[in-house]
Chains A and B, each alone.
Chain A
């Protein structure tokens, strides 16, 4: 028995796809199906180069898919619509929204710190309690006896002087601590102000960087789309001017 004869006219890919379209009611037309596949990036422009069936003299080669130019044209228009529709706008609005939120959060944080600092009271203020100086315990007794109290009085004066000196020394130490605390507090306030300024600068830098990255992303997206459009137009021999598209 002779082997089965090879089919000289196999089903081409677009024929297979047409069959899928026929089975799927979602697509109203083959063009719709292709346009969607292109938009999803699942079909590249070069996929449209299809193998031509062998000729009678045994030759073969590529051909432009018959009737596919309409499909390709539609796909190019779809890609071109995507090209002209900027996707950076929404992200830019989102970025601005986040910048505003970041600004508010930063301002609130700075305000909280300043409130904390201004709400603190210097614990070293206030006067040291006056020294207690003992009185002559024998004053009345000596007075009644007609005894002079010069020696005791001298001792009392010396003790009073020493107590006053000790009190003053304590007060000096406390004053020093109070001034140190005050200086420390002013340093903290200054730090907060410095941080506030640094925050404004860092936020502006981040915003600028994000904007640049978004712009780069958008530029790359457009370049990729342009490449796809051009590949498709070249492979299908479509004159873009004839489509009325302008870049």
Chain B
């Protein structure tokens, strides 16, 4: 029994599993890059529009002589809360996307490890069964 030939189908399965894992990791890395890019762009756009809106809001209240009023103070809190929430939504969205991708990475690695362990266990089982049967000795027993 040539060990190299014996090992060949198992190595093929492991290589195939490794390729699937690497493809997943590469895809996840690309998705991670896109998510970060999109998150940064969304944050920048939010800050830009909100900053521009802040000036208009202050001017509008000033024209009406309400610059020091409680209404304007309340409006600032509303505006600030809204801005904050939108920023946090973008942050959370990005964070969750990154976490999902991290988890996808872990799953891909885990999937490979399970396949690797399965293949090794199958190989071990086959070797043990072959060895324990004393297959090479059987011709001498007329069987």
**CB within 8 Å of B: which residues of A?**
91, 94-95, 98-99, 101-103, 105-106, 108-110, 112-113, 116-117, 120, 123-124, 128-129, 131-139, 141-142, 145, 147-152, 155-156, 159, 162-163, 166-167, 170, 173-174, 177, 181, 184, 188, 191-192, 195, 198-199, 202-203, 205-207, 210, 213-214, 217
A105 touches B127 (CB 8 A): yes
The 7 closest A-B pairs by CB, nearest first: A151-B77, A202-B132, A138-B80, A102-B131, A134-B87, A109-B127, A123-B109
**CB within 8 Å of A: which residues of B?**
47, 50, 54, 72-74, 76-81, 83-85, 87-88, 91-92, 94-96, 98-99, 102-103, 105-107, 109-110, 113-114, 116-117, 120-121, 123-125, 127-134, 136-137, 140-143
> Nearest A residue to B77 by beta-carbon distance?
A151
B residues less than 8 Å from A192 (CB atoms):
121, 124
B128 touches A174 (CB 8 A): no
B residues less than 8 Å from A214 (CB atoms):
140-141
B117 touches A120 (CB 8 A): yes
B91 touches A155 (CB 8 A): no
Can you pick out 16 interface pairs between chain A and chain B where the beta carbons lie within 8 Å of each other?
A101-B136, A105-B131, A109-B127, A123-B106, A124-B106, A128-B102, A129-B95, A129-B99, A134-B87, A151-B78, A177-B106, A192-B124, A199-B128, A202-B132, A206-B134, A214-B140
**Complex Cα–Cα for A156 and B105 (A):** 31
A152 touches B80 (CB 8 A): yes
